[in-house]
Amino acid sequence: MRMIILAPLLAAIPGAALAEPLTFDAALQRAAREAPSLQANEAGVDATRSAAIAAGRLPDPTLDLGVQGFPVSGPNAGSFNRDDFTMTTIGLSQQFPNPAKRRAQRERAQADIGIAEAGAAAEAQNVRLETALAWVDLYYAKRRLAQLQRLDASLSELQATVSARLASGSARPSAALEPDQLRGAVNDRRSDLAAEVTKAQARLARFTGDLQADVSGDPPMLEVDRAQLAARLGGLPRLQALDAETRAADAETELARADKRPDWRVSTSYGRRDPAFGDLVSVGVSIDLPLFARRRQDPKIAARASEAERARLMRAAGERELAAALNGDLADHAMHHQRLMNARNTLVPLAKHRAELDMASYAAGKLDLGSALLSSLALAEAEVDALAREADVARDTIRINFTYGPITDGGTRP
C-alpha cells in the first residue's frame, strides 16, 4: 500500500535526482549521449549533407505562357481571331550551366560537409575534455575536503586533552581557545573547497545532465607519449576544419574561373493561332558571351585565389600554433610532476615529522599549544596542497591526451 501511495511521488522525481555516482568512463559516455551541443552539431551535419544533394544539379525547367501579336489598335483591336499574327504560346526552357561550374559546386558542397563534420568533431572533443576535467576536479576537491575533515576530527580529540589539562591546572586558561581558533581557520579553508566541489558538480551536470552529479572510482591512468602526439597533430579536428576551409576556398576559385565559360539555354514553344492561319513551333538556343573577362571575371578569380592562399597560410599557422601549444602543455606537465614529487617526497614528510615532534614537545610541556597546533595546520595544508598538485598532474595528462590525441571511443583511451 505504501508503494502504491508513493509511486506517483517517485515518478515525479527527475531521473537525474536518482542517478548514481558516475565513474570516469561512465561520465564520458553519458556526456556523449546527453550533451545538447553535440546533438546540435549532428543536426548541422545532417543539414549540410542534405543540402549537398542539390549541388551541381541542373536548374529546374521553366514553363513559359504568353500571348503574342495581340492587336490593341486598328480594325482588329481586342480580337483574338481576326488577326493572323495573334497567337497564344506555351513553352519550356532549360538552362545548362557549364560542366566546370557544376563540378565546382559539388566540390564546394563536399567542403561544406567537411567543415561541418570537423566542427562536430571539435565540439565532441571539447565536451569530452571538459567532462573529464570536471570529473577530476570534483574527485580531488572531495578528497581535499575529506582531508580537512580528518583534521577537524583530530582537533576534537585535542580539545578533550586541553580540557583535562585545564582541570588539572597544568595549562593556561587561554589554551582552551586555541583549538577553536585553528578550527575557524580550517572552516575557512573548508568553505573554499566546498565551493570548488559545487562548481565542479555544476560543470559535470552541464555535460551529463545529472543535476546531482557525483563521482565514483579512481581517475584513469594515462601516459603522455610526446612523439606519438606530435605525429598525430595533422589529424586533429581543428586542422581538419582548416583543411576543409582550404578546399572550400579552392572550390570558390574554380567557381570564379567557371564564369569565364559560357552557360547555355534551350527553349521550345508552341504557338496556337486561328485555325485559318495554322499553328507555329519555335526552338531556340541561347549562349552567354563572357566577352569582358578583364573587368568582370578576372578580378573575381584573383580575389578567390587570394582567399585560397590565405586559407592555406592559416592552416600552416594553425599547425604551428598547435605544435607550440603541445610543447607548452608538456612543459607544464613536467613542472607539475616535479612539484608533486617534491610534495610527496619532501614537503609532506617534513611537515608530518615536525607536527609529530611539536605535539611530543607539547605533551612533554616543552612547547605551547599554539605552536603545536600551527604545526598540525601546516601538515594539513601540506597534505591538501599535495592533493592539489596531484590534481594538476591528472588535469595535465587528461588535457594533453584529450586535446592532442584522437577520439576513438567514449572511454579513457584517447
Query: Which residue spans of the chain are classified as CATH 1.20.1600.10?
Result: 34-58+97-259+296-404
What is the fold of 34-58+97-259+296-404?
Outer membrane efflux proteins (OEP) (1.20.1600)
And the C-alpha cell for 359?
605535539
Look at residue 3 in the predicted model and tell me its pLDDT: 39
Look at residue 412 in the predicted model and tell me its pLDDT: 46
| Nearest of 305, 298, 316, 309 to residue 252 by alpha carbon | 305
Query: Which residue spans of the chain are classified as CATH 2.20.200?
Result: 60-96+261-290
CA pair distance 137, 125, nearest whole angstrom = 18
Contact yes or no for 318/238 (Cβ under 8 A):
yes
DSSP 23: -
Look at residue 370 in the predicted model and tell me its pLDDT: 64
CATH of 60-96+261-290 given 2.60.40, 2.20.200, 1.10.150, 1.25.40 = 2.20.200
| Nearest of 135, 134, 181 to residue 158 by alpha carbon | 181
Please list, residue by residue across 345-354, b when 16 or more beta carbons sit within 10 angstroms of its beta carbon and e when fewer do. eebbeebbeb
Which residues pair with residue 286 across a beta bridge?
265
Look at residue 137 in the predicted model and tell me its pLDDT: 93
Look at residue 157 in the predicted model and tell me its pLDDT: 56
Look at residue 189 in the predicted model and tell me its pLDDT: 79
- State the pairing for strand pair 87-96/264-272: antiparallel
Considering Cα of 123, then 127, then 133, then 137, what sign does the dihedral take? positive
The residues of the chain scoring below 70 in pLDDT are: 1-19, 74-76, 78-84, 152-183, 368-371, 406-414
Helices (H) and strands (E) in the chain, counts: 10, 4
| CB-CB neighbours of 333 under 10 Å | 19
Look at residue 408 in the predicted model and tell me its pLDDT: 52
Strand order in the sheet with 87-96: 62-68, 87-96, 264-272, 280-287
And the C-alpha cell for 257?
574561373
| Nearest of 187, 188, 213 to residue 200 by alpha carbon | 213
